[in-house]
């Protein structure tokens, strides 16, 4: 595993190299896609990208937690969390990469 993190700039550069748009157009395109995904999730909608996966928003109710330092019980407020569920295609591709690294 390389431990490398892909950034927005990396995505913009990949679009620039592979699609042939200008650098600024590539950057705008990546920003628009990410903004649209974010806006949909903020509205509570699910985002499904075929052969990649689904981004879902789930509501978590209030529950009691414990402060690990003091052991004191503390209420954890209800909140919404984002969950990513990878598609089977993505899972297979990731696992195929693991097999190639082991060989």
Count the neighbouring beta carbons within 10 Å of the beta carbon of residue 12: 20
| 37, 47 Cβ separation under 8 angstroms | yes
Read off the pLDDT of residues 35-54 as tens digits, 9 standing for 90 and up.
999 999 999 999 999 999 99
Cα four-point dihedral sign 50, 40, 81, 3: positive
2-11: which pairs have CB atoms within 8 A and are 24 or more residues apart?
Answer: 8/34
What are the sequence ranges of the domains in the chain? 6-43, 45-102
CATH number for domain 45-102, candidates 3.20.20.70, 3.40.50.970, 4.10.520.10, 3.10.20.30: 4.10.520.10
Burial of 26 (0-12, 13-18, 19+ CB in 10 A): buried
Interval 8-35 mean pLDDT: 94
* pTM higher than the cut 0.85: no
Interval 57-75 mean pLDDT: 93
């Amino acid at each position: 595993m390389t431990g490398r993190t892909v950034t927005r700039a990396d995505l913009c550069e990949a679009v620039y190299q592979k699609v042939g748009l200008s650098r600024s157009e590539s950057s705008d395109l990546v920003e628009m896609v990410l903004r649209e995904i974010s806006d949909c999730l903020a509205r509570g909608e699910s985002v499904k990208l075929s052969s990649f996966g689904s981004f879902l928003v789930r509501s978590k109710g209030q529950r009691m937690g414990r402060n690990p330092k003091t052991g004191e019980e503390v209420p954890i407020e209800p909140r919404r969390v984002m969950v990513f569920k990878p598609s089977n295609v993505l899972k297979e591709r990731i696992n195929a990469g693991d097999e190639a690294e082991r060989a």
